[in-house]
Structure 1
Amino acid sequence: MPEVPWRRRVGVAPKTWVAVMAIAVAVLGWLPFLGRALGPDEGGFLMVGGAWHDGTSLYGPYWVDRPPVLIALFGLADALGGTVALRLLGALATALVVVLAGVLGRSAAPERRSAPLLTAGAAAVLVATPLFGGTVVDGEVLGLPFVVAGVTAYVASAASRSTRRGLALALTAGVCAALAVMVKQSLVDVGVVAVVLLVTSRQARRRFPAFLASAVVTVVVVAGLAALRGTSPAGLWDAVVTFRFEAGRVLAADDGNAPQRARELALAFVASGLPLLALALGWRGRGRPSVQGPWTAPDLRIAAYVLLAVEVVVVVLGGNFWLHYLIGLVPGVVLLAAAFAQRPAPVTRSTAAAYAVTGLSSVLVLAWVVVHPIGRPELAAADYLEAHAAPDDTAVVVFGGANILREADLESPYPYLWSLPARVRDPELSDLTDLVVSSRRPDWVVVAYGALGAWEMDGDALRSALARDYDEVATVERFTIYRSGHDAG
């Protein structure tokens, strides 16, 4: 009697093991970085999340142009210990994206057994690559599970023939859509898919009112909870909507490093293999979808094309061209894989090769970053402050580099931990100058090289105040460190 393969003996299909491996690969990409030093955004958001209470600014003592669910997630990570907890939260988000992408494939093409592998595989080969800012936890990473969950729920809602189940799924999709936007205001993917299906699918059109109502209710509830912690709805609107238009004008006039970052972002986009994978899925996914059974999902091809186009526009309009913007393209590629799975076209060598190239790119870049870690010049300044600052000292970093303060365990009396809010809301640096000559003056001021002469900001008054009231005590890496010389008069 021939021996039965062990996977069959335990009742697990080979494709299930492939799916498990896809999830494991995506998560394992984060493990080497659990204890690595925080990036500027990670350090800043942990400070904001940990200090969020009723205070003098939008989120207690600090102001940042991000919605409250993101701050709450970083506050959770801060309460659980900080760096490692945050990275584990990022790994969990990555795993959820891969799992939910598989569920989307199942919902979109239940008659095709390979559909979950196609969609989960598309997510797995992209979510952990450092070319998309992977290994660093940011708003895009934490928002992706809500995006993919929302798209999956809405597709399943439109496919369901049960009124009750379809309604429940549409309500779930609306909640996820709102939470995604309340993590990062540019994550409008679920709404885009819902609007496109409103035009292309009669069944989806019937679910749209429930979707819209639950999204609105969720936004109201989140805003109400934020207000209980001292963050007003008017303040949130100013931060996540009005400020972005003001920031856009500032970024449009930026003649600094943005063009160089744009070139690096374009290179990362090509090197990731994403264009090749999207082209293969789109080319092979032409034609009419397969005839399905009683569970009939809407045709997702047009929705996938529109979603990818919107995601590309969001990346370009982001202005700063940071690599982590690119991870926002993952839902569009996953939806394109779902649309491909709906068609009778087989998985050809060209399609498999596109998956293989994209996956190989992620593995090679991950291996490179493990051996050659991302440089953190801020650590030298943090080490100096940690060695010389008293426990109750305060500090300001001009500009950005909030991970310096987080690593040195110092608070800032200046509400802007990032350069862009300072450039938009304090362009003459009058607030910062008034601070350093007041009784609330920080004990330490850390100035990044060239910061006071960048972005056409007027730093003369601040330079004079530092020369008069502070002592220059050290220069480490690209940072000059000043210590308050005497009590303010």
Structure 2
Amino acid sequence: MTAPDWTRSARARVAALAVVAGLCWLPYAGRRLSPDEGGLLLLAAQWSPGSSLYGDYFVDRPPGLIALAAVADAAGGGWALRGLGILAVVATVVLSGVLGRLGAPDRPSAPVLTAATAALLTATPLFGGTVVNGEVLGLPFLLGGIVAATCAVRSESGHAALWWGVLAGASGAGGALVKQSLLDVFVFVVVLCLVSRRARPVLGVTVGAAAAVGIAIWAAAARGTDPGELWDAVVVFRQQAASVIASSATDTTPRRLGAMLLALVATGAPILAVVLARRLPTRVAPGVVDLRGPALATLAWELFVVLGGGSYWLHYLMGLVPGLVLLTAAACQRPLPGRRVLAAAYTLMAVSAVGALAFVAVQPIQRPEHPVIAWLDDHATPGDTAVVAFGAPNILQATGLRSPYPDLWSLPVRVHDPELHDLGELLDGPDRPTWVVIAGKSLGSWGIDGTNADRILADHYDLQATTDGWTIYRKDAQ
């Protein structure tokens, strides 16, 4: 078969895989928002000069993620945010196919295999699929940066290499501006330049990254986000949070880690990685930019991020997609495993993804916050405020209530206000919120001493309802 023929066929297959991956997300586009999705929309909607990092609220994430949430909020809210997630998945699969074509241009199956790896991993709920988060929205930036860096190294023109490098740096910075740990592009670039002995992309990458970060900081400052406070949130806070998790979350950490690792194994991705990695010791053809070292380094970084964060949410696994796609591209540069072995590995992943999607379709993920949302919709009045303790800001977003307490998520509370002094002062002051919603019966939790705040709550609030594990209080008439 001639090159144009198989290229057209490969393009069609890559496009089909991208469409299928996007369609796998479509049935869940209208379901209720998760805490992170609702919280990001709530925060983005009021992002302007205020009393905290982003308006009147705090979140330990860079401004790129908040900007994407602001776009979704302006475009319609929950549906638009889910639409951004679907676009991110489709773009990731397409860019993965491009990477396969660049890495192994003489192998017709390479773009299809790299796209298949991306499609199966972004579609499965076992990787946190169907919920839009920083990992998903960052994927196109990471794959785009890796593709651009590969083009820069392959380019015979110094001028072209410079501009491809600028694009790689800007795209890589875009990933880090969505979630600060998404530094995959820069890990890839460093190792790629070392193994290829070509340093031409470095200048362009540096310029592109610096420009993207500078523009993001300037734009965030224009909306009231102080650069110094931003550094504290995305860097210093994460160090403090890691310490709090390590010292306090001793009961939940092993269980979450076990569940996350079980989900990873259940996807079949480790089996595919082993099958592909067995081909890496062989040499590539002369003149080919070997992706083996960059792929292994990138995947190692991603594993460090997934395992080093401490929280072990399923969607952290989505961060492994670029490394596994790179591993596929590196394997395609060499004689591939037997067709049956390779087909078995991908079939296992496909069966796992379909099974997980079918399970979620039959047993939809129930949002435990919905009963509280329904109750507050019936009883709250315009102008009311509320504090949700802690970590379910989708309740506020769905009910249209504002919070006078800046920490919408539970981890910032554990770092900023572990003894709830600030919350206690708020509940005891003249601007106390109308409603206080508690997950459970006490404001205390791991890493949080709620003794004093519980006493203040009892003095100034009346119990209104309990529903599905939530306790709802309203301030008294005094």
Report the TM range for the smaller structure's normalisation: over 0.9
CA deviations on 1:230-285 (whole Å, 9 max, x unpaired) are 10110110000000110010000112322211110010010011101111111134
**Partner of residue 311, structure 2:** 320
1:472 aligns with 2:466: no
1:109 aligns with 2:100: no
TM-superposed CA distance for 1:346, in Å, is 5.7
Amino acid at match of 1:110: P
TM-superposed CA distance for 1:17, in Å, is 3.1
**Partner of residue 93 from structure 1, selected from 88, 96, 105:** 88
1:261 aligns with 2:252: no
CA deviations on 1:375-433 (whole Å, 9 max, x unpaired) are 21111001111111012211110011111111111111110010000000011101111
The structure-2 alpha-carbon separation of the partners of 1:451 and 1:90, relative to structure 1 and needing over 3 Å to count, comes to farther
User: Which of 342-351 and 90-99 deviates more?
Assistant: 342-351
The structure-2 alpha-carbon separation of the partners of 1:442 and 1:472, relative to structure 1 and needing over 3 Å to count, comes to same
The structure-2 alpha-carbon separation of the partners of 1:451 and 1:16, relative to structure 1 and needing over 3 Å to count, comes to farther
Residue pair 2:120, 2:349 contacting (<8 A) in 1 also: yes
Matched position secondary structure for 1:453: coil
User: Which of 60-69 and 213-222 deviates more?
Assistant: 213-222
Residue pair 2:463, 2:474 contacting (<8 A) in 1 also: yes
Which structure 2 segments of 5+ residues have no match?
Answer: none
1:365 aligns with 2:371: no
User: Which of 53-62 and 341-350 deviates more?
Assistant: 341-350
Runs of 4+ in 1 over 6 A off after TM superposition: none
Matched position secondary structure for 2:415: helix
Structure 2 distance, partners of 1:407, 1:259, is 32
CA deviations on 1:207-239 (whole Å, 9 max, x unpaired) are 112212221221111111111111011011000
TM-superposed CA distance for 1:12, in Å, is 9.1
**Partner of residue 244, structure 2:** 250
1:7-86 maps to which residues of 2 (within 5 A)?
13-86=8-81
Amino acid at match of 2:423: L
TM-score, reference length from structure 2: 0.96
**Partner of residue 404, structure 2:** 413
**Partner of residue 150, structure 1:** 145
Residue pair 2:162, 2:200 contacting (<8 A) in 1 also: no
Indicate the percent of aligned positions where both proteins have the same amino acid. Answer: 50
Residue pair 2:276, 2:337 contacting (<8 A) in 1 also: no
**Partner of residue 121 from structure 1, selected from 116, 119, 137:** 116
**Partner of residue 192 from structure 1, selected from 187, 206, 212:** 187
Residue pair 1:175, 1:215 contacting (<8 A) in 2 also: yes
1:429 aligns with 2:420: yes
The structure-2 alpha-carbon separation of the partners of 1:354 and 1:57, relative to structure 1 and needing over 3 Å to count, comes to same
1:275-286 maps to which residues of 2 (within 5 A)?
275-286=270-281
**Partner of residue 133 from structure 2, selected from 129, 138, 145:** 138
Structure 2 distance, partners of 1:195, 1:451, is 49
Paired residues, number:
473
TM-superposed CA distance for 1:320, in Å, is 0.6
User: Which of 157-166 and 186-195 deviates more?
Assistant: 157-166
Residue pair 1:277, 1:354 contacting (<8 A) in 2 also: yes
CA deviations on 1:131-181 (whole Å, 9 max, x unpaired) are 111100000000011000001100111011122221111100000111100
Amino acid at match of 1:211: V
1:178 aligns with 2:169: no
Amino acid at match of 2:344: A
Residue pair 1:399, 1:451 contacting (<8 A) in 2 also: no
Matched position secondary structure for 1:452: coil
**Partner of residue 159, structure 1:** 154
**Partner of residue 211, structure 2:** 217
**Partner of residue 3, structure 1:** none
Residue pair 1:453, 1:459 contacting (<8 A) in 2 also: yes
Matched position secondary structure for 1:370: helix
Residue pair 2:269, 2:349 contacting (<8 A) in 1 also: yes
Structure 1 distance, partners of 2:55, 2:127, is 31
User: Which of 328-337 and 207-216 deviates more?
Assistant: 207-216
TM-superposed CA distance for 1:290, in Å, is 2.5
The structure-2 alpha-carbon separation of the partners of 1:463 and 1:285, relative to structure 1 and needing over 3 Å to count, comes to same
Residue pair 2:244, 2:447 contacting (<8 A) in 1 also: no
TM-superposed CA distance for 1:345, in Å, is 3.1
Residue pair 1:398, 1:451 contacting (<8 A) in 2 also: no
CA deviations on 1:430-483 (whole Å, 9 max, x unpaired) are 111111122221110001115523114221221111111111000011110001
TM-score, reference length from structure 1: 0.94
**Partner of residue 290 from structure 1, selected from 285, 290, 315:** 285
Residue pair 1:286, 1:343 contacting (<8 A) in 2 also: no
Structure 1 distance, partners of 2:475, 2:66, is 31
Residue pair 2:161, 2:200 contacting (<8 A) in 1 also: no
Matched position secondary structure for 2:438: strand
**Partner of residue 5, structure 1:** none
The structure-2 alpha-carbon separation of the partners of 1:222 and 1:456, relative to structure 1 and needing over 3 Å to count, comes to closer
The structure-2 alpha-carbon separation of the partners of 1:248 and 1:456, relative to structure 1 and needing over 3 Å to count, comes to closer
Amino acid at match of 1:53: S
TM-superposed CA distance for 1:351, in Å, is 1.3
Structure 2 distance, partners of 1:325, 1:222, is 24
CA deviations on 1:179-198 (whole Å, 9 max, x unpaired) are 10010001010011011113
Structure 1 distance, partners of 2:55, 2:338, is 53
Structure 2 distance, partners of 1:73, 1:473, is 37
1:317-356 maps to which residues of 2 (within 5 A)?
317-345=308-336, 348-356=339-347
Structure 2 distance, partners of 1:270, 1:174, is 33
Residue pair 2:423, 2:453 contacting (<8 A) in 1 also: yes
Structure 2 distance, partners of 1:193, 1:457, is 40
Structure 1 distance, partners of 2:23, 2:186, is 31
Residue pair 1:395, 1:444 contacting (<8 A) in 2 also: yes
1:303 aligns with 2:297: no
Residue pair 2:442, 2:454 contacting (<8 A) in 1 also: no
Residue pair 1:146, 1:176 contacting (<8 A) in 2 also: yes
Matched position secondary structure for 2:474: strand
